[in-house]
Amino acid sequence: MNPSSHYDVIIAGGGPAGASAAIHLSMRGARVLLVEQKKFPRPKLCGEFISPECAVHFERLQVADAMSAAHPADLAATVFYSRNGKNVRVPSSWFGATGVALGLSRAEMDERLLRRASEAGAQVLEEAHATNVIFEDQTACGITIRQGARETTYLAPIIVDGTGRNRALTRRLANANRARRERALMVAFKAHLENTRIEADACEIYFYRRGYGGLSSIEKGLSNLCFIASARDVRACGADADRVMREVVCKNQRAAFTLKHARLNANWLAVSLEGFGRSSVAPINGLLAIGDAASFIDPFTGSGMLMALESGELAAEAIGEFLNHSPNISGLDQLQAAYTHRYRETFNSRLTVSSWLRKAAFVPGLAEAAIAFFGASDHLRRKLAHATRGSRPETSAAAKRVR
Ligand SMILES: Cc1cc2nc3c(=O)[nH]c(=O)nc-3n(C[C@H](O)[C@H](O)[C@H](O)COP(=O)(O)OP(=O)(O)OC[C@H]3O[C@@H](n4cnc5c(N)ncnc54)[C@H](O)[C@@H]3O)c2cc1C
């Protein structure tokens, strides 16, 4: 054991949430350790639709140029298709910012964010698995990290769980609320494809029985197909991703057309999805959750990465105030309350709306009815699209330094 308390903050998980928090905190002068279990770049199961509002975050994180250099696809609209081919279009311009969403692989995006965290001053450890949280007097004060056969303990006054749906740290606490389990276990698949017939500049969403999927253009002329199917349907296809695509996803007329001549460019990734919704954002003093570790918003809103970047920044602001003004036990109480309050204010309403939409998407026939209903009115469609997002005030906090 080699305890070290050279850090103000330890963040587990180097996805967009962890990297966002690490960059914002490092830019404020905090001493940050960022621990990621994988070696980047790595593929990641995701729709790879980066919603337009992320552009503002990329600017603030100073990664906008690095993202452009990866040549992402510009996505001007998302088009939702019912099984029989009816569709509604949601222009990316409704979400403000640049008015364009980006299609970029997670290998490229996450790599650029992680390198920026390092450049901003965070110490980044890859292939380092956070295995445990250390507590003292009911307060989190460190974590254990496994690198190969070696276990090391690192100490810091603040620990952040950015390990995604894994919730590697917060799930260890008995009092942390578990994300609500869905009735049916779902399985998600993703692969990069060549030779699809997707509409240029669009992300297409397909609804089918007990699931939905998204096809999006990404860099290098490829398309990313990411879909969710019920475990029952996946078992019926012998857990073969190609068969699920052909026999379940392609029951949607539009998917059958766009995917007819598609070829795999990389292996399928698959993961089971057990729950959506909120977990505990600050389950105990000294431990905050960000990104999917705090809440998992339904993927078809295309806003999980936005929430990851936002919640990383929100946590960095609250931690920055703690480090500046009251880095002691009573300050930890205030940090826990302040972060929880701001988190709810920022995300609760969009999480609620998204959970209604998710339920509707899985009721047979309702997705069709909703597509017909919302297709008839730009106004209603725009209102609904906005309800799945929030409006976080611009902040000058990034400029405020710790100490
Ligand atoms: C099927 C599907 C499709 C989606 N499509 C989209 C989309 O198109 N657009 C969108 O915006 N969002 C989408 N999302 C949501 C989006 O992927 C997540 O919201 C986003 O990745 C959350 O970022 P994060 O940093 O919280 O977690 P993650 O991106 O999951 O990152 C967590 C990181 O922590 C690391 N880690 C895990 N455990 C440990 C540990 N013990 N120690 C150290 N490191 C650890 C992991 O390796 C990973 O790199 C989709 C999600 C799913 C499931």
112 domain-assigned: yes
The total number of structural domains in the chain stands at 2
- In the chain, pLDDT over 90 holds for what percent of residues? 71
For the stretch 24-70, pLDDT in tens is 999 999 999 999 999 999 999 999 999 999 999 999 999 999 999 99
Instruction: Supply the range of the domain harboring residue 36.
Output: 1-46+108-179+279-359
Lowest-confidence range among 61-70, 191-200, 210-219, 384-393?
Answer: 384-393
**pLDDT of res. 57:** 97
**pLDDT of res. 255:** 98
CA nearest ligand 1 atom 2, residue: 46
Chain CA centroid to CA 239, Å: 25
Helix (H, G, I), strand (E, B) or coil at 90: strand
Residues 6+ apart with CB under 8 A from 201: 73, 74, 75, 76, 77, 217
**pTM of the predicted structure, to 2 decimals:** 0.92
Is the distance from the beta carbon of residue 286 to the nearest atom of ligand 1 less than 6 Å? Answer: no
Residue 216 alpha carbon, nearest atom of ligand 1: 8
Do residue 238 and residue 335 come from a single domain?
A: no
398 domain-assigned: no
307 domain-assigned: yes
Continuous H helices in 127-212: none
Cα(312)–Cα(383) distance, rounded to whole angstroms? 26
CATH of the domain at 164: 3.50.50.60
Q: How far lies 137's CA from each of 99, 284, 393, 401, in Å?
A: 49, 11, 36, 29
- Please choose from 301, 305, 311 the residue to mutate so as to test ligand 1's pocket, defined by most ligand atoms within 8 A of CB: 305
Is the distance from the beta carbon of residue 310 to the nearest atom of ligand 1 less than 6 Å? Answer: no
Do residue 117 and residue 198 come from a single domain?
A: no
Distance 371 CA to ligand 1 centre (A): 28
**Torsion angle defined by CA atoms of residues 107, 54, 66 and 99, in that order, rounded to the nearest 10 degrees:** 120
Region 68-80 average pLDDT: 96
Do residue 263 and residue 188 come from a single domain?
A: yes
Do residue 86 and residue 163 come from a single domain?
A: no
- Please choose from 111, 151, 163, 186 the residue to mutate so as to test ligand 1's pocket, defined by most ligand atoms within 8 A of CB: 163
Is the distance from the beta carbon of residue 331 to the nearest atom of ligand 1 less than 6 Å? Answer: no
| Average confidence score pLDDT of the chain | 89
403 domain-assigned: no
Is the distance from the beta carbon of residue 35 to the nearest atom of ligand 1 less than 6 Å? Answer: yes
Helix (H, G, I), strand (E, B) or coil at 337: helix
For the stretch 253-279, pLDDT in tens is 999 999 999 999 999 999 999 777 788
Tokens of 16: 């967009």
402 domain-assigned: no
